Amino acid sequence: MKKKLDRIFSLCLTLALVFSLAACGQKAEETPDGTQDDQQTEQEEFTPASYSIAALKGPTAMGLVKLMKDSENGETSGNDYTFTLAGSADEVTPALIKGELDMACVPANLAAVLYNKTEGEIEVLAVNTLGVLYIVENGESVQSIADLKGQTIVAAGKGSTPEYVLRYLLTQNGIDPDNDVTIDRKSEHSECVAALASGQATIALLPQPFVTVAQSKIEGLRMALDLTKEWDALDNGSSLITGVIVARREVVEEDPAAVNEFLKEYAASVEWVNANTADAAALIGEYGIVDAAVAEKALPYCNIVCLTGADLLEALPGYLEVLYNADPAAVGGEMPDNSFYFA
């Protein structure tokens, strides 16, 4: 009898332990204030940082305007941002290299050039602009890339995306960019628009929103060639990319979580701009990037994005490789390795 009672007692004790352990496991998963949730919160926390960011007056800056306004109003998630708007990349890159800027929106190929020039001290955070380049003409002579042979084209962006994209497309279509066309270099896209308006030029390479600006000032000016379509027609396995945002490696390594938080806020800003054209255009006008009326017309054609992580790795290397194969100098002499990408 005693042995039987001992067996019953042992069975009860075993069952009690089993249920107790099961209950503990369930509690760890289900308790709202439990350890797992504390760990999750801990992972999401970051130490707010202060970043100085430069953007060019164009689509890259347009995607930032909601974040710029939120920063002014003290409505960011903790990071503090100071924004600078510039007319050309030449105004931005020296300050970035010297450490006077933490981040900058620059042409995609220039990011690779800076990476090589600084021996890896520049890191790309995101693609922010896809193809926005057009050949515009006050006339009807240009119907294809082939029609550019023998023409004079006013263009800004020497040593950056516009120049290399144009040279690549000309070369791929059997036109020598050094001998078959004349490129009249300007320091800013606004100078190209002025040359068209004055009649000094009839053909220009322009990005949006400057295409829309020019069309608002010059009667009969048309988008003769969409360079994104011309690029796609080559079927080279890549996409045309105009701009990216980069950071100094020191800044990234100091606080990757704060950089990630910036990218979240940047992505949210881009999403808001693309979804709220009229309101976004008003902010773009307020910051003097372009006139609000022009921005409202141009935004649907600006291809503003924020591609990070795996999307960044899928989009950018192929584009840079095409440029490298066409002219290694376009990316600074060699292809960037994986440490170039914040992904």
Cβ atoms < 10 Å from Cβ of 160: 24
Tokens of 122: 């520049």
pLDDT in tens, the chain (343 residues): 444 434 433 444 343 433 333 333 333 344 444 443 443 333 457 799 999 999 998 888 999 999 999 999 999 989 999 999 998 888 999 999 999 999 999 989 999 999 999 999 999 999 999 999 999 999 999 999 999 999 999 999 787 778 889 999 999 999 999 999 999 999 888 899 999 999 999 999 998 988 998 998 899 999 999 998 999 899 888 889 999 999 999 999 999 999 999 999 999 999 999 999 999 999 999 999 989 999 999 999 899 999 999 999 999 999 999 999 888 999 999 999 999 999 8
**Cα 59 to Cα 242: distance, rounded to the nearest angstrom:** 9
SS3 180: coil
Q: What is the dihedral of CA 252, 257, 259, 260, to 10 degrees?
A: 130
For residues 224 and 142, is the Cβ–Cβ distance under 8 A? yes
**What is the strand order of the sheet 50-56 is part of?**
80-86, 50-56, 103-107, 241-248, 122-130, 304-307
* Type of residue numbered 184: D
pTM strictly above 0.85: no
Q: Tens of pLDDT along 17-65?
A: 333 333 333 333 444 444 434 433 334 577 999 999 999 988 889 999 9
**Cα 76 to Cα 92: distance, rounded to the nearest angstrom:** 24
**Helices 309-326 & 108-117, crossing angle to 10 degrees?**
80
Backbone angles phi, psi at 151, to 5 degrees: -95, 165
* Number of Cα atoms under 13 Å in the Cβ half of residue 69: 18
* Type of residue numbered 114: L
**∠ CA 30-34-39 to the nearest 5 degrees?**
115
H helices of the chain, in order, are 2-30, 35-44, 59-62, 65-72, 93-98, 108-117, 161-172, 189-198, 210-217, 227-233, 249-254, 256-275, 277-286, 292-298, 309-326
What domains sit in the chain, N to C, each tagged with a CATH number? 50-129+239-340 (3.40.190.10), 133-233 (3.40.190.10)
Between the alpha carbon of residue 152 and those of residues 88, 135, 137, 178, 190, the distances in Å are 22, 12, 11, 12, 17
Q: Tens of pLDDT along 111-150?
A: 999 999 999 999 999 999 999 999 999 999 999 999 999 9
